[in-house]
Amino acid sequence: MKFAIVLCAVVALSECLVRVPLIKHKTTREIMEEKGQWEEFRQRYPYNPTAKFDSNLFGAEQMTNDADLAYYGVISIGTPPQSFTVVFDTGSANLWVPSTFCSSPACGNHNKFDVYKSSTYVSTGKGLSIQYGTGSMQGSLGLDTVEVGGLKVVNQMFGVSQYEASFMYYMKADGILGLAYASIAVEGVMPVFNNMVKEGLIENDYFSVYLSRSPDTGSEVVFGGYDPDHYNGDLRWIPLSSANYWQIKMDSITVNGKVVACNSGCQAIVDTGTSLIVGPQVDILNSAVGTPYGQVNCNSIASLPDVTFNINGNSFSIPSSAYVRKTQNYGCSTGFEHSFSNGVGSGLWILGDVFIREYYTVFNMRDNAVGFAALR
């Protein structure tokens, strides 16, 4: 079964677009909220949405937990290929999937990679440990053929988990495919996208993300290009302030023309792996839209003001219809969440899926920039 469509067409730069369809399902958070388990879980395992932007600890990259990872696609690993669903995460740089060596309950309801069934798998003998906001994954590193969107990356190094924290039990995706810069990859692993460019599988070292508002299909990540059919006008390019994560400088955040957060400028990370918009002044932002604790009357959503993110002289507005989320047991609330980080992530804002669903986003490693354009 084909999980990707490869189209060679005349588009923005007349390149071959490699499209990987993404599927949006309920997040781990939403599943637990519906079961009435989320608040108890948060108290037992404090949720730190900016954890993956903290400094490294003993060589293990700090990453966010999966409570907000929602969009994922299908890849295959090995010979013959074994299929897995993975989150395409611009906030991390490693690829990992569960393995048959994993006995954790979190691995029990996911596809697991069997190293003995792949004739091309080679163990490196190296371990892998990634610390999450509510636990960790631990395993080992190996080499094998990884296929993404019809592109085969040979001898790609990736992780196979042998232990996964309990919260991963609720993940819809099997694993994570990181799309940040190689400089933050655990154990110095070369990321999948970098190897695509190195091996000449794609012409251009940038990729783009379209997150559909539809709960089912239509979303996609495009490797080696971007698709203007998804957006209006021109892309507005924002230079990176740090080429490790997709980090940019914001000028301010305004509501009804008044600055309510990021008053003197601040740093933000564009992250497909976080569903909400996260920051250190969210209480003030929520108050500015009339909801001090983030709770919203579901009947008054249309009357709430836009929130505007001013970046590099450009204004990017998010309407209330986009930033208010509805849950089965908790009513309506804003998609703004407070950050509690004390490390590198301190003071950072995360522009997650709430933002990216409104703006087609191009991640450009060639020019160290991100491009935004309003969706059609």
pLDDT tens across 152-195, in order?
999 999 999 999 987 788 788 899 999 999 999 999 999 999 99
Residue 299 has pLDDT above 90, yes or no: yes
Catalytic residue among 54, 66, 68, 89: 89
Name which residue leads in pLDDT, 10 or 240.
240
Per-residue pLDDT band for 213 (boundaries 50, 70, 90) equals confident
Compute the CA torsion angle 336, 338, 342, 343 (nearest 10 deg): -10
Residue 204 has pLDDT above 50, yes or no: yes
Residues 311 and 251 in one domain: yes
Residue 80 has pLDDT above 50, yes or no: yes
Q: Does 219 reside within a domain?
A: no
Residues 240 and 355 in one domain: yes
Catalytic (active site) residue 89: yes
- Looking at residue 20, its pLDDT comes to 85
Residues 169 and 305 in one domain: no
Residue 46 has pLDDT above 90, yes or no: no
Residues 185 and 254 in one domain: no
Residues 54 and 133 in one domain: yes
Share of the chain above pLDDT 90, in %: 64
Residue 342 has pLDDT above 70, yes or no: no
Tally of domains in the chain: 2
- Looking at residue 338, its pLDDT comes to 85
- Looking at residue 4, its pLDDT comes to 32
Per-residue pLDDT band for 40 (boundaries 50, 70, 90) equals low
Mean pLDDT of 247-270: 96
Q: What is the residue whose two structure tokens read 């979303």?
A: 219
- Looking at residue 218, its pLDDT comes to 79
pLDDT tens across 2-23, in order?
233 233 333 333 345 688 887 7
CA pair distance 146, 154, nearest whole angstrom: 7
The domain of 256 spans 230-374
Share of the chain above pLDDT 70, in %: 79
Residues 236 and 176 in one domain: no
Residues 166 and 234 in one domain: no
For residue 41, the domain's CATH number is 2.40.70.10
Q: Does 215 reside within a domain?
A: no
Q: What is the mean pLDDT of the chain?
A: 84
Per-residue pLDDT band for 88 (boundaries 50, 70, 90) equals very high
Catalytic residue among 66, 68, 271, 353: 271
Q: Does 89 reside within a domain?
A: yes
Mean pLDDT of 98-107: 95
Per-residue pLDDT band for 343 (boundaries 50, 70, 90) equals very low
Of 189, 223, 228, the residue nearest 208 (C-alpha): 223
Residue 232 has pLDDT above 90, yes or no: yes
What secondary structure does DSSP assign to 230-286, as a single string?
GBSS--EEEE-SEETTEEEEE-EEEETTEEEE-TT-EEEEE-TT-SSEEETTHHHHH
Catalytic (active site) residue 144: no
Q: Which of the listed residues 209, 239, 257 is the one where a domain comes to its end?
A: 209
In one-letter notation, the amino acid at residue 56 is N
- Looking at residue 68, its pLDDT comes to 43
Q: Does 364 reside within a domain?
A: yes
Q: Which of the listed residues 176, 209, 242 is the one where a domain comes to its end?
A: 209
Residues 253 and 122 in one domain: no
Q: Does 325 reside within a domain?
A: yes
- Looking at residue 11, its pLDDT comes to 35
- Looking at residue 61, its pLDDT comes to 33
* Per-residue burial over 37-46, b = 16 or more CB atoms within 10 Å of its CB, e = otherwise: ebeebeeebe
- Looking at residue 60, its pLDDT comes to 30
Residues 14 and 149 in one domain: yes
Residue 67 has pLDDT above 60, yes or no: no
Q: Does 216 reside within a domain?
A: no
Across 64-78, 86-100, 259-273, least confident range: 64-78
Mean pLDDT of 21-32: 67
Q: Which of the listed residues 144, 175, 209 is the one where a domain comes to its end?
A: 209
Q: Does 222 reside within a domain?
A: no
- Looking at residue 168, its pLDDT comes to 80
Of 54, 53, 49, the residue nearest 27 (C-alpha): 49
Three-state SS across 329-364?
Answer: CCEEEECEEECCCCCCCCCCEEECHHHHCCEEEEEE
Per-residue pLDDT band for 36 (boundaries 50, 70, 90) equals low
Residues 193 and 304 in one domain: no
Q: Does 224 reside within a domain?
A: no
Residues 164 and 200 in one domain: yes
Mean pLDDT of 260-266: 95
Mean pLDDT of 267-290: 92
Residues 205 and 243 in one domain: no
